[in-house]
Structure 1
Amino acid sequence: MLADFYPHFTKKDFLNIEKSAGKIAKNRAEDYQKTMYSYKKLSREKQLSKVNFYLNQLLPQYDDVMQKQEDYWATPKEFLIAGYGDCEDYVIIKYFSLLKLGFDKKKLFLTTVNEKYIGGYHMVLSYFEKKGKSPLILDNLSFRILNLETRKDLQADTFINEHGVYKIDKNNKLIKVQNYSPKFQDLLRKVKKDN
Structure 2
Amino acid sequence: MQHIYAVEKAFLIDFKRFERYIGQHTAAPVPLSSNWQALLLSASSLGVSEQLSAVNTFLHQSLTYMPDSMLYGVEDYWASPAELFARQKGDCEDWAIASYISLRALGIPDAQLRLVYVRAQVGPANSGLSQAHMVLAYYPDTEAEPLILDSLIQTILPASARTDLTPVFSFNSTGLWAGSGNQKSRQSATARLSRWRDLVQRLELQGVIL
Same fold (TM over 0.5): yes
State the match for 2:68 in structure 1: 63
Stretches of structure 1 that go unaligned for 5 or more consecutive residues are none
State the match for 1:193 in structure 2: 205
State the match for 1:146 in structure 2: 157
State the match for 1:81 in structure 2: 86
Q: How far has the Cα of 1:14 moved from its partner?
A: 4.5
SS of alignment partner, residue 29 of structure 1: helix
- CA 1:102–1:192 in 2, change beyond 3 Å: closer, same or farther? same
State the match for 2:105 in structure 1: 100
* 8 A Cα contact 1:59 1:85, kept in partner: yes
Question: Of residues 174, 179, 184 in structure 1, which corresponds to 2:182?
Answer: 174
- State the distance in 2 between where 1:179 and 1:40 align: 32
- CA 1:3–1:88 in 2, change beyond 3 Å: closer, same or farther? farther
Q: How far has the Cα of 1:121 moved from its partner?
A: 0.7
SS of alignment partner, residue 183 of structure 2: strand
Q: How far has the Cα of 1:22 moved from its partner?
A: 3.6
- CA 1:65–1:89 in 2, change beyond 3 Å: closer, same or farther? same
- State the distance in 1 between where 2:51 and 2:161 align: 21
Q: How far has the Cα of 1:106 moved from its partner?
A: 1.2
Q: How far has the Cα of 1:13 moved from its partner?
A: 5.9
- CA 1:3–1:146 in 2, change beyond 3 Å: closer, same or farther? farther
SS of alignment partner, residue 144 of structure 1: coil
Deviations 1:37-88 (CA, angstroms, capped at 9, x unpaired): 1111011000001101111221111001001011101111111111100000
* 8 A Cα contact 1:167 1:175, kept in partner: yes
Q: Which has the higher contact order (CA 8 A, sep 6+)?
A: 2
* 8 A Cα contact 1:3 1:100, kept in partner: no
Q: TM-score, normalised on structure 1?
A: 0.87
* 8 A Cα contact 1:166 1:178, kept in partner: no
State the match for 1:132 in structure 2: 143
- State the distance in 1 between where 2:98 and 2:90 align: 10
Deviating beyond 2 angstroms after TM superposition, the runs of 4 or more aligned structure 1 residues are: 1-6, 12-20, 22-25, 180-183
Deviations 1:7-37 (CA, angstroms, capped at 9, x unpaired): x422x86477456514452x11111111221
Stretches of structure 2 that go unaligned for 5 or more consecutive residues are 1-7, 124-129
Amino acid in structure 1 at the alignment position of 2:44:
K
* 8 A Cα contact 2:78 2:199, kept in partner: yes
* 8 A Cα contact 1:3 1:96, kept in partner: no
